[in-house]
């Protein structure tokens, strides 16, 4: 199956500029063209786009993604290096999640104190009107 750029943009929530940028940077390869020169994306291209977005959304720089793809293109001899890259990135993502959870606790505590203050204000307002 093949997909137009419009389909990819609409269904993967990614901009055409980003897709072109990924091609220019060499992290999205083997994009076919139709007879009018328009990009045609394969199922494999779609899976790569999803994977690249996953890495980008979790903070991996383009240069590291390019390094990973270059290793991938070298074949099975590099799978241990790619595995190590993914393990390192996973650790970094987990650390960010843990840090965010810590911050969420602080924010939740602050919200709870405001809710207690709000209850106190409401309680005092009712007493004043009696």
Residues 107 and 45 in one domain: no
- pTM beyond cutoff 0.85: no
Say how many domains are in the chain.
Answer: 2
Average confidence score pLDDT of the chain:
94
| CATH assignment of the domain containing 49 | 1.10.1660.10
Q: What is the pLDDT of residue 35?
A: 92
pLDDT at 28 over 90: yes
Residues 88 and 65 in one domain: no
pLDDT tens per residue, range 118-130: 888 888 876 665 5
Structural domain span for residue 70:
1-74
- Residues 6 or more apart whose CB falls under 8 angstroms from that of 5 comprise 16, 19, 38, 39, 41
């Amino acid at each position: 199956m093949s997909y137009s750029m419009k389909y990819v943009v609409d269904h993967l929530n990614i901009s055409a500029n980003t897709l072109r940028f990924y091609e220019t940077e060499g992290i999205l390869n083997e994009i076919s063209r139709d007879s009018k020169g328009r990009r045609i994306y394969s199922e494999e291209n779609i899976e790569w786009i999803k994977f690249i977005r996953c890495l980008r959304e979790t903070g991996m720089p383009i240069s590291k993604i390019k390094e990973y793809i270059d290793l991938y293109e070298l074949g099975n001899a590099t799978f241990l290096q790619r595995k190590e890259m993914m393990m390192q990135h996973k650790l970094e993502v987990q650390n960010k999640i843990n840090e965010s959870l810590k911050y969420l606790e602080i924010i939740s505590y602050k919200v709870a104190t405001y809710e207690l203050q709000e209850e106190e204000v409401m309680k005092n307002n009712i007493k004043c009107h009696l």
